[in-house]
Amino acid sequence: PPVIVVPYQGESYPDPPWWMRRESTSLSMAPQLMVAAGYAILVPDLPPTPEPADGLAHRILSVVDAAAAEGLVDPERIGLWGWSFGAWSAVMSAAQSPRFDAVVALNGPMNFSTVIGDVGSTLRLDGGHALAAAASARWLESGQAEMRDAYWQAPDRYRRNSPFEQADRIVAPTLLVVGEYDLMLGQSEQLYGALHRLNRPVALTLLIGEEHGLRSPGNIRLYYDQIRNWFDRYLMGSGGPAVPASDAPTPPSGPD
């Protein structure tokens, strides 16, 4: 079967990740639903490296090729799907190798040099700019992003590890999904603008009322419709999506 890789830089899994467990109620990331649609899922171990983007695509493709050598997956049909820093991991990998055929990224950071200025809509209304700036600086310099220094001390490190800065290398069709109230809204919009300017296949879906994780049943249904149709289109060759992705806001559904 075609394979969808779910990468998350910095993580290794001695046990199945929490969002893959039977008791999990999170639907922001539930790749087992794509198994039911005929896809293989790979969740690779990606332990920390000196820089988060170091050899990322190569490490992922090594796992894919090992699975292909056992006859488990088709190495010529590879998708990437990530949420949050996993979304960064997916898009950054696509910038490093043309072997990936489709990408779906939910609420991810795409341009490290501007993350420190991102403020979610609800926090903005509360006057939380200072809180957002402090939290972003901590995440960038000593958290997941591992930039170690402020942008002004290490601008090249920030650029090397930002998908936005590598947008001209991304050839895989990319579906960006972002919540209306998520801190990363502007990040997805920046990457959408870059890929659109480069005339690459890209779509942006804005989920009204959502934050970093998804909660609305209507939005979750739309999200999985678009994920399946995106991968079906580019990994299965089944034509265009039945529910087209777009850059237009999508209202939450009403009661059934």
pLDDT tens digits, the chain, 256 residues: what are they?
999 999 999 999 998 888 888 888 889 999 989 998 999 999 999 999 999 999 999 999 999 999 999 999 999 999 999 999 999 999 999 999 999 999 999 999 999 998 887 766 666 666 667 777 778 888 899 999 999 999 999 999 999 999 999 999 999 999 999 999 888 888 999 999 999 999 999 999 999 999 999 999 999 999 999 999 999 999 998 654 444 444 444 444 444 4
For 93, the token pair is 């990998």
Distance of alpha carbon 108 from its chain centroid, rounded? 5
**Residue 232 DSSP code:** I
CA geometry: angle at 231 spanning 226 and 237, to 5°? 120
For 52, the token pair is 């988060």
Please give the sequence-ordered ranges of beta strands (E in DSSP) within 16-66, or none if there are none.
40-42
Task: Say what the pTM is.
Answer: 0.90
Ordered domains of the chain (ranges, CATH) = 3-250 (3.40.50.1820)
Q: How far apart are CA 119 and CA 127, in angstroms?
A: 10
